[in-house]
Every structure is written in structure tokens, then in C-alpha cells.
Amino acid sequence: MRLSLPLWRGVPPAFVGLISAELAASAQAQDVPAIGTAALPRDLSPYGMFMSADVVVKGVIVGLLIASIVTWTVFAAKTIEILIARRRIRAALRALSEADSIALVKATERNAALFRSAALEEMRRSEGLYDKDSLKERIASRLERIEAALSRAILRGTGVLATIGATAPFVGLFGTVWGIMNSFIGISNAHTTNLAVVAPGIAQALLATAFGLVAAIPAVMIYNVLARQTAHYRAYLGDASAQVMRLVSRDLDRAKLPMTQAAE
């Protein structure tokens, strides 16, 4: 701002310079709030920032919300499934431990009936064969396939948790990078580096990273929890298989040749 010389004639130059600097600072201070007020969105809550974000950032946030819903849905479904499966295999273990012969195992429990049927079927097919060790190996091979099938069934659906946990932070980071790019473009178009112009866009961009972490952290934790529960279930399957092999071994030792008498 320039001061009229006739008006300030006779005033010391230092005083004139001080007054000029104060008037210029005052004018600049009056301009800044106007720019900041115009640039700032009315609502800086997460919902308000989402609604005022770029369409790409919105898409990223919506995708991460869907991933989070999938995570908790899988957690609820698999937890119930594992609890039911562990209850069944424990019942099968009780049925196997109470029997003195593989043929006397109660078939009322599904898993016990499955193991029993596999052992008896192999013994029936081995009619006329007199090598006990070979028969035990074939029965053990059948039981291993049953264990593998049951393990695959209990693990079905947990892979999506690992995928979400590994990719969600990077998806959120992509939304953040895109939002910051748009913020810098807005700074260039506005010809100002005022924080009030820069802050809303950066806040909206960082919101995508926050949603990425919200989706990824529970997914990783839930995956680890389900992995431990599945490992316990597989240990029960191994115990059931070992119990079946003990019953078969007892039957073969009791029986006289031919060995199909053990399956009678």
C-alpha cells in the first residue's frame, strides 16, 4: 500500500514505513479468512469429508467398507462353523474311544461313521490279502484323505481374509495418493498456498488410508484367530484317525486268517 506524500509530508520516514507495513498486514489478514472460508467445507466430519471427496476416493472408501463387512461376516460364519465341527469331532472321539472294535463304533455321529466306514470298506476290499502292515497303510491313506477333505472344508472362505489384510492398506494408500494429487492441482488453480485451501483435500485423502487400516487390521487378526482354531480342529482329526488305527490294529491282532474276519 502506498501513502500519499502530501499527506505525510514532514512525518519521519521510519514512522511512515511502520504505518505502511501495519496497513499492508491488516489488508492481507482480511483477505486470508475470505479465501479460507470459501475453501473449507461446511462439514469436516468423516461423513462430510466423504461426501465432498473426489469420486475415485469415494469408490476406494466404499470398496474398503464392503471389505470390512465381508471380514466380519466371514468371522461370524466361520466361528459358528468351527464350533459345530469341533463339537462333532469331540463326539466322534468319544464314540471311538468307547468302542473295543472298529465294527462296534456307534455310527450315530457323522464323523465317527465316516472314519468307521472308511476302515471297514478297506478291510472288505482287502479280502484274501494277508499282509497286515499293507492293510494298515491303506487304511491310514484313506483316513489321511478324510482328514484333508475335512480340513479343506473348514478352511473354505478364510483366504479372503488374508487377501483383505494384505491389500486393503495399499488400496487405501491409492485413494490417499489420488486425493493429494487433486489437492495439489487445487492449490495450483487457486494460486495460493493457504493452509485453509490445502487442508480439506489432504484430510479427505487421508480418510482413505484410515479406512484401509480399519479394514486390514481386523482382517489380519481374525485370520490368525481362525487359523489357530482350525489347527486345533485338525489336531482333533488326527486324534480320531489315530484312534481308528488303534482299533483296526486290535481287530487284526485278535482275528485269525483270513483277515476279513476282523471286519465281520
Tell me, what's the pLDDT at 7? Answer: 46
- pTM, two decimals, is 0.70
Higher per-residue pLDDT: 134 or 22: 134
The mean of the pLDDT values for the chain is 77
For the chain, what is the total number of helices (H) and then of strands (E)? 7, 0
Contact 135, 122 (CB under 8 A): yes
- For the segment 211-218, the average pLDDT, to the nearest whole number, is 92
Handedness of CA 121, 125, 128, 129 (dihedral sign): negative
Sorted by sequence, the CB contacts under 8 Å of residue 173 that are 6+ apart come out as 208, 209, 212
pLDDT digits (tens, 9 = 90+) for 90-129: 888 888 888 888 888 877 777 888 888 888 888 888 776 6
Entry field: residues in the chain: 264
pLDDT band at 24 (very low <50, low <70, confident <90, very high): low
The domain ranges of the chain are 1-39, 42-263
Contact 199, 184 (CB under 8 A): no
Tell me, what's the pLDDT at 74? Answer: 94
pLDDT digits (tens, 9 = 90+) for 142-184: 899 988 899 888 988 888 999 999 999 999 998 888 888 877 7
Sorted by sequence, the CB contacts under 8 Å of residue 43 that are 6+ apart come out as 49, 51, 52
